[in-house]
Amino acid sequence: MNTTAIAGLEALRGWLLEKHPDIERIDDDMDLFEHKLIDSINFVEYILIIEELIDREIPVAPDLMQRTATLAKVREHFLVDA
């Protein structure tokens, strides 16, 4: 994984930890929806942050939640070529 992808993941992790100060650690494979770290209200902000990191718009698709459910999936689907 390149340094841009690592920095992107850490930026997302930092944003999530800031939103949830009661959480000490977020593993790359932790389901963010299942653990209620992302909900319908902050999902849009989460996607906007990913779009800023990759400098392109992410099209809305039926599998968007699935592709962004964990930091590992974000890395796989969006940060590989970042």
CA distances in angstroms from 27 to 14, 34, 58, 73, listed in the order given = 12, 13, 23, 12
3-17 per-position pLDDT tens digit: 877 888 999 999 999
The rounded distance, in Å, linking the Cα atoms of 36 and 76 is 21
19-50 per-position pLDDT tens digit: 999 999 999 999 999 999 999 999 999 999 99
Sorted by where each starts, the structural domains of the chain and their CATH numbers stand as 3-79 (1.10.1200.10)
The rounded distance, in Å, linking the Cα atoms of 31 and 70 is 5
The rounded distance, in Å, linking the Cα atoms of 16 and 19 is 5
What's the sign of the alpha-carbon dihedral 9, 14, 20, 21?
A: positive
